[in-house]
Chain A
Amino acid sequence: MEETTTLLSEEEKDILQEIMNIAFGQAAADLAEIINIYVVLNVPYIQVLRAIDMPEYLHNELAGHEVISMVEQHFWGDFKGSAYLIFPSGAGKELVSIMGEGVGESGFDSASFDGMEKETLMEVGNILIGACVGKVAELLDDRVTYSPPRVAIENFAIKSIPAEIFDLHSSAIVLKTVFNFNERDVSGFLFLVTKQDSINWLKNSLVTFMEKYE
């Protein structure tokens, strides 16, 4: 697996890294203040990859987690791409108990628990992805719309994630952040994969962003 170096220069990577730091910091603060969700978002780490190498990348990054679920959500603006939120297996159950308060009329019975788990993964995914991507877009003066979240992989062995899930012909700027949820023992990984055709826009925006500070 080799890093594609042609897409972004080292300097551009540094700026993007900085923007992500600001965006994710603001996202976490707003999530806490506005909707009482307390997430710890680690400093995101940026890498540029070929999409075809994503499974191998994920496999390396998520060493120690055998079985995972993955929520996928696409976003469209000048900033275009897909967000993937990866939870270790079992996290869904924990999230249902965190998010479950106030759901439905009388909670849920065990028969529908599996469905609940899936829906809760999507809801949490939508909130985190919306907050993070929204902040990045805001900093870059963009506006984005989102597809509904989808559970692309449910309790799947990480070794067998097919590469076809990702857009094979594109290169990807991959951001990884580890998050922790409401001081509970739920953590996961957020990856943003940027579509190739928004790279030029991104490069320009990075310049504009820096000019504001110079």
Chain B
Amino acid sequence: MSESLIQIFETVNIGVVTLDLELRVQFWNRWMELHSQIPAEKIIGTPIIDSFPNLDNPRFSKNCKAVFSFGSFSFFSQKLHKYLFPFKPDASYGNSFDFMQQSCTMGPLRDQDNVINSLFLIVQDVTELAASENRLIELNTKDALTGIYNRRYLEAHLKDECERHHRYGRQLSLIMLDIDFFKKVNDNYGHQCGDQVLKAIAHEISKLARSTDYFVRYGGEEFCLILPETSADDALSQAERFRDHIADLVIPCKEASIKVTISLGIAELAAGNSPDQLMKRADDALYEAKNAGRNRVTLC
């Protein structure tokens, strides 16, 4: 490599690595030294997996083989791979990511006779981009007050869930729940306490729900839970646990101790049900629970 090209590779703000056919390091630029804390003279000539055992996996070696045998490129996107080299992220992103997020490109290097004898790897730090993307996704899918999913998320995902469950003939249940006499909480204790109650309910039910369930603030004091792989009977016992737990819950706000109850309606996805029909059936069941005196669960 010519001297001036090497100077460029040493100065650029991206990682540049070349590996020989046995995946031993041939070139390791300054950026890689800086982020890996491994000096070039230490790593050059050694197999890359000695320093980065995480690369000793079928996926990475398949990509190398593809580059060597097809002369094709491989792209390791941040979304699928997160990173190839476990480097520390810049301190400012330390909380959101354990490791620097990377977008990497791999391609062939040929000698004068057009024979591929090594490969190059280019490593770009995309942590900042990934962080702002995550932030945007969160703003777009989460409810600001309670931190649980919002209605937009529900509408986008309920359709997919329903299709999936129809396709594989699996069970899916939906619980609609609503805080009883919520208006009175606002009237008696003020809106700040109303918000406090909403947050507490969201928090408690999130704790009780399984990690595979989606818990959504549907609007106002109305919430919704999507329960994949769940029959109406199982949803019913879940719902009873929620109802029980909330009825015993004391929510402190300012000097007051607030107690509320919830009503719940359940529907199980029936053959041919659209997401809207499922929602409507759960909503009807909720309405029945309200009419029957509140603080209860009704199955559609």
Contact = CB atoms under 8 A, between A and B. Distances in A.
B191 interface: no
Given A34-B66, A116-B80, A126 B157 contact: no
Contact of A35 (B57, B66, B82, B160): B66
A104 B57 contact: no
B65 A149 contact: no
A129 B107 CA distance: 14
B182 interface: no
Contacts of A137: 71
Contact of B65 (A35, A104, A115): A35
Given A143-B110, A144-B71, A146-B73, A130 B81 contact: no
Given A35-B65, A111-B141, A127-B66, A104 B75 contact: no
Given A104-B80, A111-B137, A34 B62 contact: yes
A103 B80 contact: yes
Nearest to A137: B71
A131 B71 CA distance: 8
A196 B278 CA distance: 54
Most chain B C-beta atoms within 10 Å of own C-beta, residue among A35, A105, A127: A35
Contacts of A115: 79
A175 B141 CA distance: 42
A27 B66 CA distance: 11
A131 B62 contact: no
Interface residues of B, number: 28
Contacts of B214: 110
Most chain A C-beta atoms within 10 Å of own C-beta, residue among B59, B70, B73, B105: B70
Nearest to B138: A111
Is the contact region of chain A dominated by helix, strand, or loop, or is it mixed? Answer: helix
A185 to B, nearest CB: 12
A34 B69 CA distance: 8
Interface in B160-200: 160
Interface in B50-85: 57-59, 62, 65-66, 69-75, 77, 79-82
B73 A130 contact: yes
A123 B66 contact: no
A112 interface: yes
A145 interface: yes
B4 interface: no
Interface in B76-126: 77, 79-82, 105, 107, 110, 114
A114 B118 CA distance: 35
B75 to A, nearest CB: 5
A149 B75 contact: yes
B72 A126 contact: yes
Contact of A123 (B70, B75, B82, B157): B75
Most chain B C-beta atoms within 10 Å of own C-beta, residue among A119, A120, A129, A144: A119
Interface in B131-175: 137, 141, 153, 157, 160
Nearest to A111: B141
Interface of A: 27, 30, 34-36, 102-105, 110-113, 115-116, 118-120, 122-123, 126-127, 129-131, 133-135, 137-138, 141, 143-146, 148-149
Given A104-B80, A111-B153, A131-B72, 8 more contacts: A30-B69, A111-B137, A111-B141, A116-B80, A118-B79, A143-B110, A143-B114, A146-B73
Give 10 nearest A-B pairs by CB, closest first.
A130-B72, A134-B70, A35-B62, A119-B80, A119-B79, A34-B65, A146-B73, A134-B71, A131-B70, A134-B72
